[in-house]
Chain A
Amino acid sequence: MIKPNKKLQVGTLAVGFFFLYAPILSLIVYSFNDSQLVTIWSKVSLRWYYALAQDDELINAAWLSLKIGLLTAFASVAIGTWAGFVLARMGRFRGFTLYSAMINAPLVIPEVIQGISLLLLFVEMGKVLGWPAERGVFTIWIGHVMLCVSYVAIIVQSRIRELDTALEDAAMDLGATPLRVFFVITLPLISQALISGWLLSFTLSIDDLVLSAFLSGPGSTTLPLVVFSRVRLGLNPEMNALATIFIGLVTVGVIAANFFMQRAEARRAMPAS
């Protein structure tokens, strides 16, 4: 087997990962800085973590974001799985190109475009149907689900394509209805893709700023909106503390998810051998 130049390999990866991680590490280090001036080091303190614990605006926004994130994750997995199943198993039905384009577009389209279009939809709906009368949690939720459905659909369709149809065919032959086959056979087989999709939707929702800015109303300020309004004015040591907590949670989450998935994969590979 051909091995690349070891020095070049290690060097390139070291530079690359330094670029990816130096900013994150600097955030973490300076969150423990006592000084009001974020980048001038004075002494180690947990001052900004205490400030964070007393910041009601931020805490309320965090709860709201968490709530919307959970709602989004469940709804996106439900609709996204359905959409991905259609993409993978229904062949080239009439309107397939438009369908796949509508799934692909939200992956790349600038969020400001989606933000303004959904906002105009809700405003027009409010005018014609009288509902939704006001923007708020509900409209943000729909916006986030709209975005995440595409990601879930892509993950699910690629997993379904890998599946061996023998099990499903056998169940059909034994007289199970298609709906039953889907819930009893297909869903458990793609459960990993569903978990990935759920986690991705949850983080995308918690992180989303642009869609929320267009779709939020009075009293529905999510965490990114609060953070953005503050960091727009420049550095803010409290935001460093918040970032550190966030990074810590995400790191633990990603490593745990990776660990469990690899274990599940290993277990799946075992009986076959």
Chain B
Amino acid sequence: MTPLSSRLQRYIPSGRSLVIGGPYLWLALFFLVPFLLVVKISFAEQQLGVPPYTELAQLQDGMVHINLQLGHYTFLLSDSLYFATYLSSLQMAAVSTLLCLLIGYPMAYYIARSNPATRNMLMMAVMLPFWTSFLIRVYAWIGILKNNGLLNQFLMWAHLVRTPLELYHTNTAVYIGMVYSYLPFLVMPLYAHLVKMDLSLLEAAYDLGARPWKVFCQITLPLSRNGIIAGCLLVFIPAVGEYVIPELLGGSDTLMIGRVMWDEFFNNADWPMASAVTCAMVLLLLVPMALFQHYQAKEFEQ
């Protein structure tokens, strides 16, 4: 090989880097770059026109004018309503995750301990609602939770309450909707961890005289730890930015950051403000997302 062609060789990508480069480029273009644009536009200003935001840098009279607006961020930090929204989003997501865990763990546990044929059937039954439309599943709860809905009809019929419970358009309804929609996401990873657990460990513990509760706390729980963390993150992270559930089931006082961002964007057409809210949401989720990435990377290496 002549020196020239070997020098040229360096600039022609190898098969390997072409194979890696393809999906890398796709992800960079449609995931990374768009997000950087959100950061950029959060520093712009709203204007009438297409697109409805100003340019950050403009060439005027042969000079570059840079127009960076920090206003959206100072507003986000100083406005007490926004602060309440962050807190309430985090709280709604955290409580929903906890409730999911309380319902999902026993379910995953008992499914994993059923015999193999039933196990597959039951897991399919958990997955089935997940395959049907998310929107339809949230909609179903309107009919149940309304003042003259099925739940109140039942409670009145059973003489458990005299006046219908106010549930529709409240935070309680949002919690119910979130737990219902996200439950399969928690059951799946938990089940995967519980089902491959080595049962002889439990047998050994029992043989050595441990009580069932102690066996659960000292063996089953620690062994399913990664499943718990993965499942909780799969619920918590999307729940923080949830829009559809609070919009359909929540009241006007249900403060969620995803809803605020949606309103800024679609109702106020304030794209820069919506971008700033998005950045705030990403900041809120940075730590949970890093945790999720950490646990997923561990799964990849197995």
Report whether B34 and A109 are in contact in the complex, using a CB–CB cutoff of 8 Å. no
A207 to B138, CA, bound (A): 12
Report whether A17 and B125 are in contact in the complex, using a CB–CB cutoff of 8 Å. yes
Report whether B293 and A100 are in contact in the complex, using a CB–CB cutoff of 8 Å. yes
Report whether B258 and A120 are in contact in the complex, using a CB–CB cutoff of 8 Å. no
Identify which of A44-52, A110-118, A164-172 touches chain B.
A110-118
By secondary structure, the B interface counts as: helix
> Given A178-B15, A246-B133, A109 and B126 touching (CB < 8 A)?
no
Report whether B278 and A117 are in contact in the complex, using a CB–CB cutoff of 8 Å. yes
Is B95's CB within 8 Å of the partner chain A?
A: no
> Given A27-B136, A110-B281, A86 and B244 touching (CB < 8 A)?
no
A136 to B128, CA, bound (A): 31
Closest residue of chain A to B288 (Cβ to Cβ) is A108
A232 to B23, CA, bound (A): 38
Shortest CB-to-CB span from B225 to chain A, Å, is 19
A211 to B174, CA, bound (A): 21
In chain B, positions 268-302 with a C-beta closer than 8 Å to chain A are 271, 274-275, 278, 281-282, 285, 289, 292-293, 296-297, 299-300, 302
By secondary structure, the A interface counts as: helix
Is A185's CB within 8 Å of the partner chain B?
A: no
Is A271's CB within 8 Å of the partner chain B?
A: no
A127 to B51, CA, bound (A): 8
In the complex, chain B residues whose CB is within 8 Å of the CB of A113: 35, 38, 241, 278, 281-282
Report whether B146 and A101 are in contact in the complex, using a CB–CB cutoff of 8 Å. no
In the complex, chain A residues whose CB is within 8 Å of the CB of B111: 13
Closest residue of chain A to B137 (Cβ to Cβ) is A23
Shortest CB-to-CB span from A234 to chain B, Å, is 7
Interface residues as binary, A181-218 with B (CB distance below 8 Å gives 1, 0 otherwise): 00000000000000000000001001101100110000
In the complex, chain A residues whose CB is within 8 Å of the CB of B143: 26-27, 30, 38-39, 235, 240
In chain A, positions 42-100 with a C-beta closer than 8 Å to chain B are 79, 82-83, 85-88, 90, 93, 95, 97, 99-100
Shortest CB-to-CB span from B16 to chain A, Å, is 7
A86 to B302, CA, bound (A): 16
Report whether A207 and B135 are in contact in the complex, using a CB–CB cutoff of 8 Å. yes
Interface residues as binary, B138-150 with A (CB distance below 8 Å gives 1, 0 otherwise): 0111111010111
In the complex, chain A residues whose CB is within 8 Å of the CB of B19: 82, 85-86, 90
A37 to B153, CA, bound (A): 14
Is B11's CB within 8 Å of the partner chain A?
A: no
Report whether B289 and A247 are in contact in the complex, using a CB–CB cutoff of 8 Å. no
In chain A, positions 113-143 with a C-beta closer than 8 Å to chain B are 113-114, 116-118, 120-121, 123-124, 127, 142
Report whether A24 and B262 are in contact in the complex, using a CB–CB cutoff of 8 Å. no
A224 to B258, CA, bound (A): 18
A97 to B290, CA, bound (A): 11
In the complex, chain A residues whose CB is within 8 Å of the CB of B32: 102
In the complex, chain A residues whose CB is within 8 Å of the CB of B296: 100, 104
In the complex, chain B residues whose CB is within 8 Å of the CB of A8: 110
Q: Within the complex, which residue of A20, A22, A146, A158 is in contact with B30, where a contact is CB–CB below 8 Å?
A: A146
Report whether B244 and A210 are in contact in the complex, using a CB–CB cutoff of 8 Å. yes
In the complex, chain B residues whose CB is within 8 Å of the CB of A104: 292-293, 296
A2 to B278, CA, bound (A): 50
Q: Within the complex, which residue of B120, B132, B140, B266 is in contact with A250, where a contact is CB–CB below 8 Å?
A: B132
Shortest CB-to-CB span from B57 to chain A, Å, is 14
Report whether B240 and A19 are in contact in the complex, using a CB–CB cutoff of 8 Å. no
Interface residues as binary, A241-273 with B (CB distance below 8 Å gives 1, 0 otherwise): 011001100110111001000100000000000
Is A155's CB within 8 Å of the partner chain B?
A: no
Report whether B37 and A121 are in contact in the complex, using a CB–CB cutoff of 8 Å. yes
Closest residue of chain A to B244 (Cβ to Cβ) is A209
A95 to B261, CA, bound (A): 32
In chain B, positions 1-54 with a C-beta closer than 8 Å to chain A are 15-16, 19-20, 22-24, 26-28, 30-35, 37-38, 41, 51
List B residues at the A interface (Cβ < 8 Å).
15-16, 19-20, 22-24, 26-28, 30-35, 37-38, 41, 51, 103, 106-107, 109-111, 113-114, 120, 122, 124-129, 131-137, 139-144, 146, 148-150, 153, 180, 183, 199, 202-203, 206, 233-234, 237-238, 240-244, 247-248, 258, 261-262, 265-266, 271, 274-275, 278, 281-282, 285, 289, 292-293, 296-297, 299-300, 302
Extra pairs beyond A127-B51, A161-B302, A227-B139 (18, CB < 8 Å): A1-B203, A3-B113, A9-B110, A12-B106, A21-B129, A26-B150, A39-B149, A82-B19, A83-B26, A93-B20, A100-B296, A108-B289, A112-B262, A149-B23, A149-B26, A206-B133, A227-B135, A258-B120
| 20 A-B pairs (CB sep. < 8 Å) | A13-B111, A19-B183, A23-B141, A37-B148, A40-B148, A82-B23, A83-B23, A100-B293, A101-B293, A102-B32, A108-B233, A108-B238, A110-B243, A114-B34, A116-B274, A117-B31, A149-B23, A207-B134, A227-B136, A250-B131
Across the A-B interface, give the 7 residue pairs with the lowest CB-CB distance, nearest first. A110-B241, A117-B34, A23-B140, A83-B23, A121-B34, A108-B237, A102-B27
